[in-house]
Amino acid sequence: MIRQSLKFRKTVTIVCVLSLIIFIFLILRRDKLNNIDIEGHQRLDNTQNIGYRDFNKMPKKDDNRQEAAEMDINNDEAKQELQEAKARLAQLEKKIAILEGRIPQKYPDVKYLGYKERKRILVTGGAGFVGSHLVDVLMTQGHEVIVVDNFFTGRKRNVEHWFGHRNFEMIHHDIVNPLYVEADEIYHLASPASPPHYMQNPVKTIKTNTLGTINMLGLARRVGAKILIASTSEVYGDPMVHPQPESYWGHVNPIGPRACYDEGKRVAETLAYSYAKQEKVDVRVARIFNTYGPRMHVSDGRVVSNFIMQAIQNLTITVYGNGKQTRSFCYVSDLVDGLLALMASSYTLPVNIGNPVEHTIEEFAVIIKNLVPGCRS
Ligand SMILES: NC(=O)c1ccc[n+]([C@@H]2O[C@H](COP(=O)([O-])OP(=O)(O)OC[C@H]3O[C@@H](n4cnc5c(N)ncnc54)[C@H](O)[C@@H]3O)[C@@H](O)[C@H]2O)c1
């Protein structure tokens, strides 16, 4: 009986333990399944969230087409811009080639001067007709040349064959304003010279010849330079004496149409001798008579350029009056020789520079007509 009871109790215990194990196993398994489910849901949620967020951003079919069309337009515009830029570039390259062609590959021959002989020479109005020829001679002699010009009547083209040369410098400057440079000699030529040019702005003409000359004389005093003033035969005005010696004081109308030039040059001479007397500036004064030659302005308005232009264009050569009035014309290289000789000399009083041989205007007209081939004027 006791043995049976023990056996029964043992069996019950084993069943209970087994049931407990199965129960625990079942609970554990359920938890695991739940976890897997939750993870799965979370993953699903995440993908859905991402999908939802990006959905707004995702291009729709119509948007895609519009964007493609816009891109096409942008591409066309860019292509057109590129073509335009290429065309502009080609134009600029052509321009550069033309400009480069004008820069001399080889400069005219220049003498070598040691630093003791080489002078630094300032030429005001150096891009003008006379100034540019003077610059050519000074450069070929081996000096350092500084050209100052405001290009009122002068042109860069007149001196462009020196651009880039180590002895050459060009300053775009109006001499009515002070200038600070170093120089051993100054050739002061800046001033319009022909009547249409100097009458175009009479106030400026007189300022250039007075204020401009004061500035150049002041510069000469500061740096101890010798200065040559380019004066004119017009300081004699409508002369009562023929030919005019330097001692003749002239016959000038101070309020006439040419006064801005005539009186401007007379004041320039007065200033030169005042600076010489008071400030001990070493001055030279050249009274230049009519000059002609290459690089003369075509619209110079004076008889030589007028006759040449009329002959070239087969127009009637206009002679005022009976043509028996006389003039003298000096070739520009002779004038330059005269200016250099005067600067080098110790002569300080005014000097007339021109051609002493006079011709009638009628003779000039015939000479020019015969020189221009095919002229039927
Ligand atoms: N050519 C002649 O027959 C003749 C006759 C008598 C006197 N001159 C004198 O000789 C000089 C040169 O005459 P040109 O025939 O060569 O004349 P131009 O007009 O050819 O040259 C004068 C130069 O001076 C420059 N200039 C004018 N005003 C200036 C200013 N305020 N600042 C800087 N530069 C200025 C011009 O741009 C030009 O390059 C002038 O002083 C002129 O009065 C010339």
Inter-residue contact 212 to 318 (CB < 8 Å)? no
Structure tokens at 185: 């000699």
What tens digit of pLDDT does each residue of 298-344 get?
A: 888 888 899 999 999 999 999 989 999 988 999 999 999 999 999 99
Q: Measuring from atom 27 of ligand 1, which residue has the nearest CA?
A: 191
List the one residue out of 335, 235, 221, 232 whose CA is nearest residue 283: 221
Whole-angstrom Cα distance, residue 27 to residue 251? 137
pLDDT (0 to 100) of residue 38: 47
- Give residue-wise pLDDT tens across range 15-53: 656 676 777 767 666 655 455 444 444 444 444 444 444
Summarised one tens digit per residue, pLDDT across range 247-282 is 999 999 999 999 999 999 999 999 999 999 999 999
261 is catalytic: yes
Residue nearest to atom 19 of ligand 1 (CA): 192
Q: Are 262 and 234 in contact (CB under 8 A)?
A: yes
The string of pLDDT tens digits covering residues 278-295 is 999 999 999 999 999 999
Ligand 1 pocket mutation, candidates 123, 130, 269, criterion most atoms within 8 A of CB: 130
Closest CA relative to residue 143, chosen from 113, 104, 105, 179: 113
Give per-residue burial for 320-338: e unless 16+ CB within 10 Å, then b. Answer: eeeeeeebebbebeebbeb
Question: Buried b / exposed e across 66-88, counting CB within 10 Å, b at 16+?
Answer: eeeeeeeeeeeeeeeeeeeeeee
Strand partners, 359: 327
Centroid of ligand 1 to alpha carbon of 190 (angstroms)? 5
What is the identity of the amino acid at 286? A
Name which of 134, 126, 121, 124 is nearest 332 in CA terms.
Answer: 134
**95 beta partners:** none
Rounded mean pLDDT of the chain? 88
Q: Is the pTM of this model over 0.85?
A: no
- As given in the structure block, the two tokens for residue 256 are 């006439």
CA distances from 134 to 122, 166, 345 (A): 11, 18, 17
- 261, 320, 331, 347: which is the annotated catalytic residue? 261
Atom number in ligand 1 closest to CA 291: 3
All domains of the chain in start order, with CATH: 120-293+330-356 (3.40.50.720)
Q: Which atom of ligand 1 is nearest to the CA of 131?
A: 16
Top mutation candidate among 135, 153, 200 for ligand 1, by most atoms within 8 Å of CB: 153
Q: pLDDT category, 7, cuts 50, 70, 90?
A: low
